[in-house]
């Protein structure tokens, strides 16, 4: 779910940037700059995706062109570099995902809470296959978007539940009466941990 505060904050930052351009550049240059950065679109303030992309363009433009050794240049203004850093730090909290702008740590927190609720306390030795899918999906979200603390909490939780299972439970001869049920044994928790670790490695390698 897109955070409404994102739209409001980005709109404010872009308006601030436009005021800076109005101060630093003559009108013809300012209009060219606004067009190049996608800031003249009539749809800009109605789309979180366009706001996110416009913010990235602003940061990229300033980062590759900033030159404090060019007196009188628009790109020599120190306040512009500070603005770029602030905007970059803000954008880093978000990501475009499935046509939405999501707050990474908030989405990870929701998934972390959900997976803990689904796992604890286990009421029986089996979970429905759709619950198994939800648990694994939530683990992937935490691996992809979570903070170090969130990732550690999920890992510790999975390890704790895995270690409470007797090793012989994997080889149990108990028959699963439902075809759509998954046994809550060491192998199950290991499979979630392995999936979590794989997504985490892919995220760190990106």
pLDDT band at 158 (very low <50, low <70, confident <90, very high): very high
Q: For the residues of 142-203, what is the DSSP string, one character each?
A: HHHH--HHHHHHHHHHHHHHHHTS-GGGGG--PPPS-TTEEE-SHHHHHHHHHHHHHHHHHH
The encoded tokens of residue 94 equal: 């978000």
Find the mean pLDDT for residues 187-201: 93
Contacts of 193 (CB under 8 A, 6+ apart): 155, 158, 159, 162
What is the structure's pLDDT at 15?
96
- pLDDT tens digits along 34-51: 999 999 988 999 999 999
Residue % of the chain over a pLDDT of 90:
58
Cβ atoms of 119 and 135 closer than 8 Å: yes
pLDDT band at 113 (very low <50, low <70, confident <90, very high): very high
Given a cut of 80, whether residue 189 has pLDDT beyond it is yes
What is the structure's pLDDT at 1?
45
Element (H, E) at 2: none
What is the structure's pLDDT at 87?
97
Distance, CA of 143 to CA of 20 (rounded, Å): 39
The residues that bridge with 95 in the sheet, in sequence order, are 102
| Percent of the chain as helix, strand, coil, to the nearest 5 | 70, 5, 25
pLDDT band at 65 (very low <50, low <70, confident <90, very high): confident
Given a cut of 80, whether residue 68 has pLDDT beyond it is no
Q: What is the mean pLDDT of the chain?
A: 86
The encoded tokens of residue 194 equal: 């392995």
Measured over the CA atoms of residue 128, residue 166, residue 143 and residue 153, the dihedral's sign is: positive
What is the structure's pLDDT at 71?
66
Cβ atoms of 101 and 52 closer than 8 Å: yes
pLDDT band at 164 (very low <50, low <70, confident <90, very high): confident
What is the structure's pLDDT at 76?
74
């Amino acid at each position: 779910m897109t955070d409404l505060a994102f739209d409001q904050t980005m709109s404010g930052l872009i308006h601030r940037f436009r005021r800076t351009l109005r101060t630093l550049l003559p009108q013809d240059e300012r209009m060219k700059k606004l067009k190049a950065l996608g800031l003249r679109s009539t749809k800009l303030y109605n789309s979180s995706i366009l706001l996110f992309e416009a913010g990235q363009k602003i940061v990229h433009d300033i980062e590759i062109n900033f030159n404090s050794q060019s007196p009188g240049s628009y790109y020599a203004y120190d306040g512009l570099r500070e603005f770029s850093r602030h905007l970059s730090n803000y954008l880093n909290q978000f990501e475009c995902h499935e046509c939405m702008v999501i707050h990474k740590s908030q989405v990870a927190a929701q998934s972390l809470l959900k997976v803990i609720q689904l796992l604890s306390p286990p009421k029986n030795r089996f979970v429905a296959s759709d619950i198994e899918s939800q648990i694994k999906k939530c683990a992937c979200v935490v691996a992809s978007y979570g903070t170090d603390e969130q990732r550690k909490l999920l890992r510790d939780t999975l390890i704790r539940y895995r270690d409470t299972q007797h090793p012989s439970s994997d080889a149990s001869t108990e028959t699963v009466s439902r075809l759509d049920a998954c046994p809550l044994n060491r192998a199950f928790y290991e499979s979630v941990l392995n999936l979590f670790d794989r997504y985490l490695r892919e995220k760190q390698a990106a």
